[in-house]
Chain A
Amino acid sequence: MKAPGQALFVIVVLLLAAVAAFGWALSAGSLPIDGKQVWGALFSGDTGMAANVVRELRLPRAVATFVCGGLLAIAGALMQVLLRNPLADPYILGISGGAAVGALSAISLGVAAVWVDAAAFAGALTAMMLVFGLAHGDGSWTQTRLLLTGVIVAAGCGAAVTLMLALAPDTRVQSMLFWLMGDASGAARPWPALGVLIVGLVLILPWARDLNVLARGEMSARALGVSVQRLRRVLYVVASLLTAVAVTLVGSVGFVGLIVPHLVRLALGNDQRILLPAAMLAGGVLLTVADTLARTVMAPQQLPVGVLTALIGVPVFLYLLSRNPR
């Protein structure tokens, strides 16, 4: 456990990284915009094309990717504690599968983007309640039962998604695939999700030390005065809701929720009080950087952001793993 001072230092460094990532995301693109113009567009109410591009296009997109990365990283860290399984990620319990079934159904009907979002969120909530209800069936709600129920529901959703892809007309398959891989270009209204991110972190942070104890085993957590049943329910609901919001916002971007908590853990240790805020910032920075790369590397061609998160994350993760024999 690091002292609060060290924690603060880590958070400040990550905040600076976040500012840098935002600066880059707002200035890079097919229309290069320098720092002064970005500043002017954001804080001085400048008009003109550069300012409009920054305010109307790049800022919502940068916020959306940052928020989505933060949501997924927190949700992943929480799922790893809830299931006490290092391979757990936000999607393991079928939330993204449910969202994908909802979103693809909406896309195949050809409805407007806002309805795709609504259908994705509804699908995610349905999957969440289905898993909760089934895993809770006999009242025991054990880790294994929860994990198995979630994995099975996710597998069922996966089959439904494949079926829809196979049956969809060619014109819609492209947008379906982009949704599945994560696509931030349509995220025009990221502000409610930012609110969810902040509220979620503030809600879960007071429980962070309980999470440290829970990560060491359910029985010893109960002996140390943690109300395990209640905490696990809070964890499940918070992690699921954060995931549902992230998936609705950008689509099921892979990898961030699995790897960012591990990255932060390797670098800073497993104290959830530091891990959760640090993972939020690191996840946000990673996804913002990845998305900026995705739309600039092969411009005007846009790459799926999920591919970029993997391309950045894998080598960084392998490096930390080999460097750090903790």
Chain B
Amino acid sequence: MNASRSLPLDEAPLLEAERLALQVGERWLCCEFSLSLAAGECLVLLGPNGAGKTTLLHTLAGLREPSVGAVRLGGLPYAAWSAQDAARYRGVLLQQQPDHFAASVLETVLIGRHPHLGRWGWEGPEDERICRAALQDVGLAGFEHRGVLTLSGGERQRVAVATLLAQAPRLFLLDEPLNHLDLRYQIAVLDLFRRQAAQRGSGVVMVLHDINLAARYADHIILLDGRGGVVAGGRDTVLRADCLSHAFGHALRRYDLDGRITFIPE
């Protein structure tokens, strides 16, 4: 349709950050670091409360300007993307779900189709099919006509995940996707995004609190220590007991249980 949509090069990484640093007020959340996320990869952001994980995720999502350095989506800076094209390429799951007023589950998920519709466009049968499939994927088939305000916290979180799936971006940026989810759906949602990565070449960036789930799903990890320090790298370089204990301010011990790396607090 326009030039910017053909510009993201297939061989370009989905997401790059170059010498990125973030400042909030007087405080530096992280010193300069770089990252690159290729198709099919999963990056996990770890760190204690208030370390700046959400700020970093929003910066990577183009919702916030970096204080220093540059972020590139599909090889291009956000400034070169139109808002709508960017929304087709990357989708964001926010930490808080803004359901202020009554709407049905299906209506809420259909919001995810917004960037795919033209100015005068109206959601068609194909959009509805995509949304119903997304609800099926998060175990909410049959909930289409329930009001979102009548759902439990975990169900609302899954509606938000379905909305993001309906948006169908290449790059998923997830802020605490496991909020309110029970154990079964924590694993189901993480498996879902890993399948998206493996089968469709999507990229996933997510903020997690559970180190063991991070160990299980991440290819790369960025660990913020809350004092401006950053450890970024492959899973096994970052997930060391000394790094994690330092960042979280609590001693952790690393175990290898049947080939699965596990950290247990002392």
Contact = CB atoms under 8 A, between A and B. Distances in A.
Contacts of B115: 224-225
Interface stretch (B41-49, B86-94, B220-228): B86-94
Chain A CB within 10 Å — which of B86, B88, B111 has the most? B111
B99 interface: yes
A222 B167 CA distance: 13
B68 interface: no
Interface in B121-135: 121-123
Interface string A1-12: 101100000000
B110 A1 contact: yes
Nearest to B92: A223
Given A225-B88, A270-B103, A217 B83 contact: no
A216 B111 contact: yes
Nearest to A230: B83
| Interface size band for A | 20 to 34
Given A209-B117, A225-B83, A225-B86, A216 B100 contact: yes
Nearest to B108: A216
A217 B91 CA distance: 15
Contacts of A273: 122
A224 B87 contact: yes
B61 interface: yes
B84 interface: yes
Nearest to B173: A223
- Interface of A: prevailing SS: loop
Contacts of B92: 220, 223
A210 B119 CA distance: 9
A226 B92 CA distance: 13
B89 to A, nearest CB: 10
Contact of A219 (B84, B94, B167): B94
29 contacts: A86-B101, A206-B119, A212-B114, A216-B99, A216-B111, A217-B100, A219-B94, A219-B98, A220-B92, A220-B94, A220-B98, A222-B83, A223-B63, A223-B92, A223-B94, A224-B112, A224-B115, A224-B167, A225-B82, A225-B83, A225-B87, A225-B114, A225-B115, A226-B83, A227-B83, A269-B107, A270-B103, A326-B102, A326-B147
Interface of B: 58, 61, 63, 82-88, 91-92, 94, 98-103, 107, 110-112, 114-115, 117, 119-123, 147, 167
